[in-house]
Structure 1
């Protein structure tokens, strides 16, 4: 061979790993492009996996559609107090969902690539990777029920709108904080996205309607809200608790944090407790003040107990079809440019995204 044998990609990967070098970055002639990442629920080994997805995203970037979705900035005040964060997230999504009734409608309209993967070792729910006008959402489907997948998509829609071209902390896992604690700037994007997703699935005006009858909640109406939201009773419990505790000064109710319940499960161990106060728009506040029954104590545990017989929505399975179609669309986008890649690079793309291109 006279020392002239061409080195192949899988050999580059093995050599690079031994020196702690990212092999894909060697493929770029110029400086390696910087991307923005926005996560939901990070855990073990996520950095290794997301690094691979980030690399593949940059390899296939030219094959992906430009994202023309609107971009927004948060308009918070009072040092990120919870009531301000909830107010803005709830008010924003109330208008937003009138145009986009489900996360899938928004993602389809703006042709946002969604990459479903079964990640066993990297424990995450979803994340966005973006660079300039290009972006993609990676969703972990491994042992995730459909309700959880829908919540993850709604959560990432929020990041798509507010964070896709911003540098935000990515290695963030929400702590279980008392409802009267302010939100740090580091946790702000995740708290905001959680409440956005919550009120995307359980509309805020519906939460007000249901909370009016507390503690004698209309369980038939509660079940209907869960069914229409394609979600779980825990999301509804959060919405009702937020509605009640956010307006104590208007109807003289006392909220109690259950100290022995440091966290709870919405649809898996990744979901964390989010029971915090909030302000509302004046018309909503007047409505709550006028209509919600006054009870001496509001307990999140009490609300969960009342809702214990509410069953998960049966309408959530449709998200599986959406993810399959999204994967097919992604494959079609990449296939039109497969001639640009060597066999080994194509293999790397296929293995990372768990798809077949050839």
Structure 2
């Protein structure tokens, strides 16, 4: 029988809002276990834009996604959260005493006094192009769906597929380090910010970026999974091969609530409906924060999620210790354990 992890709060999601919920719970004397389907902390910040700047975090005129996550992890560290990564919460059920039992896809069991769902957009993964032997090239990193570090692409022949902001933004960024960058799209018009398109046009005219339009992906070439070329084709059947070490298809994400949809929570389309005043769901003791939570007037911003995390942590404490009189303290008065 697997070990049962007992904690005050189980936090589902290790993105920025989930990590800040650890801090807020810790400031109230609550221990946290955090579960995330990804194999690293950070949620979409780490998976989708680790090196892209974020401009609406208070006191940071600009901060890249990975640096924000690193700082949030350090902020939560004094409260010793226990992280269960690379696994989903598959079951959530109430048990005696108003507590909850959670089970994960890797067999872990967590018993908690309250649950905070900070799962962002839910379970998500890339929309994969329908190409033969795709999984083989994925396993050798010849096909990748995100950029964690630009340096990984230094001096490589990079082919990017897609017509949205992600495809255009990474073409603009990787041209600074890659040997070559080709951008494949099925039509000449791209769906990206006007300033980004202006820069892309300038780079294309200078020969720094090869705009391969109107083409779409048709096949992969290589030996033993080592990618050497990407075959593209027009709708009329005209084909050619682009030299490539790496293919980056940016066709968006397939997002779903996953197992969360089966827990009996009140849903509003693909979001969890909560009360704005305390982020409570229809199940007492279960709270939802961040992008996965919705209420009238909701703003899907990281800073809104931070405020919701604080609200949910206080509501979770009241659920776990309903008879405990809590004296509200500012962090300037109480301080943080282990802080200088």
**What's the TM-score once normalised by structure 1's chain length?**
0.24
Higher normalized helix content (fraction of residues) = 1
